[in-house]
Amino acid sequence: MSDVPFPAGVLEDILSRLPVKSLLQCRSVSKSLRALIDSPYFVNLHMQKSMETNKILYFSGDARFPVTLRNPSGVTLETPFELTDYPLVLGSCHGLVCLSNGPDERSILLWNPSTRKYKLIPRSIYEPLDDLDIITFDQLGYDHVTDDYKVVRLSHFTSESMVFRVVVYSLKLDTWQSVEQDFPSTFFPVNCYGQGVFVNGAVHWLVNQIPFPDKGNLIYAFDLATQSFHTVPQPKYPNNITATDLGILEGRLCVICIHEVYNADIWVMGEYGVKESWSKLAALTMRDMTTWPYPTVRPLIYTKKGRDVLLEVDGQWLIDYDLQEKRTIEMWKGDTSLLSMFVYQETLVPLVRNELVA
């Protein structure tokens, strides 16, 4: 073996292909290797490489079994924090997952499942500590201008008028800040699964336009970098819509349109902001499944090299849908009544300041 060491460029190239688990081990090899792996430059290089491989984890539980975290093979994994009854994923971005884990919905944390580091997010100064009459919509996103991870929160005090405030938590500053631009007082976010979607630098919600319920819902978005709002055009829906919801599939915005109660159409926006780029990805009928009042369908990831798409229904079923044949290939039911899947990327992205390790 030659004594000539690897040029830095080659070593970086090799290391950037390794899974996080191996890289964490390589940190123990030498000080220079640790410095390289911990460097923001390398974290970013590795993240770019791992963007093609999304991973899935899920929460499983019900009255019989306490909630556990599991991998796709069904193996239970330890979490560095204790899991409460209904952990809710509030966004997954660059390997960081935002989770609400009790004791109330506004107790949220940021977690990197690959490095196993997590950080509790401080309470927002804009909300009284013990007021339970608050409705909140939280979603994690990334601000590319300030290189910061942020949680955008819409909050509404039920005792007040129907106004949603917008506050943003910054990981870098470890504080909540109020946003100058108001959320329109006639807009009311519809309860989408996971409370919003982060795509293309903005957090998106479906909003109902009270007092014009017949106008239908809008897709309304908050751009993290510009701190301003914009609307996104929707595809042309069929008649007899029962409900619509937002989703995300490998970085692209989706809408799930439930019509005539049992039918779900999934649309994907090929090019952000371009109305003509909406295309129908899948159409399913779920007449055989008991759902009330209508099914909640969520696209998760492509599988089989883009041939199929994995869908979650009502937090209980998984469907493997063939995109070419346009039909359901397989269906599984979770073994507990909760099956909350989330997609994340394996990265070394750190949780700066007040980082906790199990």
Partner 1 sequence: MTSSKTIVLRSSDGATFEVDEAVALHSLMIKHRIETGGADSTTIDVPEVTGNTLSKVIEYCKKHVEAPNSDDLKSFDTDFVKVDQAVLCHLAKASYYMNIKGLLDLSSKTIADMFKGKTVEQIRETFHIKNDFTPEEEEELRKENSWNLFV
Contact residues toward partner 1 (CB under 8 A) are 1-7, 9-10, 13-15, 17-19, 21-22, 24-33, 77-78, 80, 113-114, 116, 357-358
Please, which residues bridge with residue 178 across strands?
Answer: 167
Name the nearest CA neighbour of 58 among 281, 332, 327.
332
Distance between start and end Cα atoms, the chain: 39
Closer CB to partner 1, residue 9 or residue 211? Answer: 9
CB of 251 to partner 1, least distance (A): 23
Token digits for 44? 């970013």
How far is the CA of 217 from the CAs of 139, 294, 296, 353, in angstroms?
Answer: 19, 17, 17, 39
Q: Compare residues 119 and 153 and give the one whose CB is closer to partner 1.
A: 119
Nearer to partner 1, 14 or 210 (CB): 14
**Closest distance of CB 17 from partner 1, Å:** 4
Closer CB to partner 1, 16 or 124, in the complex: 16
Residue with Cβ nearer partner 1 (28 or 324):
28
- CA 49/CA 35 separation, integer angstroms: 19
Q: Which is nearer to partner 1, 99 or 256 (CB)?
A: 99
Peptide bond into 7 cis (omega under 30): no
Please, what is the Cα angle at 199 between 193 and 201, to 5 degrees?
135
CA distances from 152 to 75, 98, 251 (A): 33, 11, 18
- The torsion angles phi and psi of 355, rounded to 5 degrees, stand at -70, 140
Q: For residues 267 and 344, which CB has a smaller minimum distance to partner 1 in the complex?
A: 344
CA distances from 315 to 67, 116, 170, 269, 341 (A): 13, 25, 30, 24, 8
Other C-beta atoms within 10 Å of 133: how many?
Answer: 10
**CB 10 to partner 1: min, Å:** 5
- Minimum CB separation of residue 327 from partner 1 in Å reads 32
For the bound state, the minimum distance from the C-beta of residue 21 to partner 1, rounded and expressed in Å, comes to: 6
Q: Cis before residue 103, ω within 30 degrees of 0?
A: yes
Minimum CB separation of residue 31 from partner 1 in Å reads 5
Q: How far is CA 65 from CA 35, 59, 74, 141, 330, in A?
A: 43, 11, 14, 32, 26
CB-wise, 5 or 103, nearer to partner 1? 5
Report in angstroms how near the CB of residue 193 gets to partner 1 at its nearest. 26
CB atoms within 10 A of CB 33: 15
Least distance in angstroms from the C-beta of 40 to partner 1: 20
